[in-house]
Amino acid sequence: MPIRLGSLLSLVLAAGCAARADCPETTTPPAPASALRSPGEPSPSETEQAATPAAPVLLLMVRHAEKADDGTNDPPLTEQGRERAACLAALLQGFAPTHLFATTYQRTRATLEPLAAATKLEPTLIDAKDGEAWQRALRELPPGARAVVVGHSNTLPALVTALGGRTSGLDAEGNIPHDEYDRLVHVVTYGSGQAASYDTRYCTNPR
């Protein structure tokens, strides 16, 4: 099931307009700048730049792909998991990410490897248990950034909430269900501190 990235862009444009008081177009020609400005007053271009909201940050967040059951706390991906990672890379090349994030566990790093190779981006690795470091890294992304985040069933929901979004269909403990690997959470954050989010499915049958 392909992701409708166009829906994400539509959400960004709609929400960006809603945050601006000057969205309706004016039909009245502006008066000459010299007639409107007092000495020392900023020029119209400076005023417009100050009033224009910063470009939103787009985040696509997924749980790591299918992992092996090898009895350790740091298992590798299964064959199906590697296929999902390759599917994710093919799907998101058109998203043109500017940043990649994963935890230090090999299953999240491996999920990002195909996309990192395709985009020539070096993933930023952050301890899965360091929620403050994750929030800081994502909140400090520059305006217009496009990031792909790979986390865990018990870390992604809390991170989405901390950024101002929300996820549905979680288990009784507030985590992504243990057997679910195809959830893709879209989060759009704005410089004003506002955020919007929604969930889709990706690579439901990576084979």
Average pLDDT over all residues of the chain: 83
Q: What is the mean pLDDT of residues 143-147?
A: 97
Give the model's pLDDT for residue 18. 39
Q: What is the mean pLDDT of residues 67-79?
A: 96
Quote the CA–CA distance of 157 and 199 in Å, as a whole number. 11
Ranges 26-30, 78-82, 188-192, most confident: 78-82
Q: Could you tell me if 148 and 60 are in contact, meaning their C-beta atoms sit under 8 angstroms apart? A: yes
Report whether pLDDT(44) > 90. Answer: no
Phi, psi of 157, deg, nearest 5: -55, -45
Q: What top-level class would CATH report for the domain 57-201?
A: alpha beta
Q: What is the mean pLDDT of residues 172-191?
A: 96
